[in-house]
Structure 1
Amino acid sequence: MANLKYYDVILEPIVTEKSMELMGEKKYTFIVHTESTKSQIKEAVEKMFPGTKVKNVNTMNQNGKKKRVRGKMAYGTTPKTKKAIVQLTAESKEIEIFQGL
């Protein structure tokens, strides 16, 4: 297991139509470090965004896509990613980075 600090766990938020609809249910989607665990993701969200309480964390691993390399017949893959959907409790504050989008 990787020795990750809480600020290394969450890499970036995912902003799509589907993730915007989930925000009405207090569910937020992030790309996270591939070796992070659910408990590390929960701790990172609660420390990075004060006033939030995490109810549930769902994660999914995504394999890299197959791509052609430099227009030749050789193939390579894009990096693997891990996506996390974090659900907050009803009395929790909303995450402010998503406000106004």
Structure 2
Amino acid sequence: MSSKSFADARHYDLIVAPIITEKATLASEQNKVLFKVSKDATKPQIKAAIERLFDVKVESVNTILRKGKRKTFKGTRGVQSDVKRAVVTLAEGQTIDVTTGL
């Protein structure tokens, strides 16, 4: 197994999914893309993974840790999972089409 394929597998583990919401669409007009990421991912790891997977230049990464909410569904109480999101600001002229997938 080459080191490149190992690095790619690690990058795929960090980036869970793109976030496609109305707010994320508005942010895309400012060269920002939102991703759901692993809870233990750091900003430098997220930056390296995005640059490697999508072949773009990343200017900055901001992270948000949303705590899970308590919900009741049909009388059963539960807790949603904590979610970590990354707001990735791309360099001028760079784009990521999240609708195509990886």
Aligning the two structures, in what range does the TM-score lie when normalised by the shorter sequence? 0.7 to 0.9
Deviation at 1:69, TM superposition (A): 6.1
The one-letter code sitting in structure 2 at the alignment partner of 1:60 is: I
How far the C-alpha of 1:96 sits from its partner, in A, is: 2.3
Distance 1:19 1:78 in 2: 21
Q: For the residues of structure 1 that align with 2:98 and 2:73, how far apart are their CA atoms?
A: 36
Residue 96 of structure 1: aligned partner = 97
1:49 maps to which residue? 54
Paired residue secondary structure (2:29): helix
Aligned-residue Cα RMSD (Å) equals 1.9
Give the distance between the partners of 2:22 and 2:73, measured in 1 at CA.
Answer: 31
TM-score by length of 2: 0.81
Counterpart selection for 1:10 from 6, 12, 15: 15
C-alpha separation between the residues in 2 aligned to 1:10 and 1:32?
A: 5
Q: Which 4+ runs in 1 deviate beyond 4 A?
A: none
Number of residue pairs matched by the alignment:
92
- Normalized against structure 1, the TM-score is what? 0.81
Using the aligned pairs only, state the percent identity.
37
Please give the per-residue CA displacement for 1:9-41, whole angstroms capped at 9, x wherever unaligned: 111111111111111111000110011000111
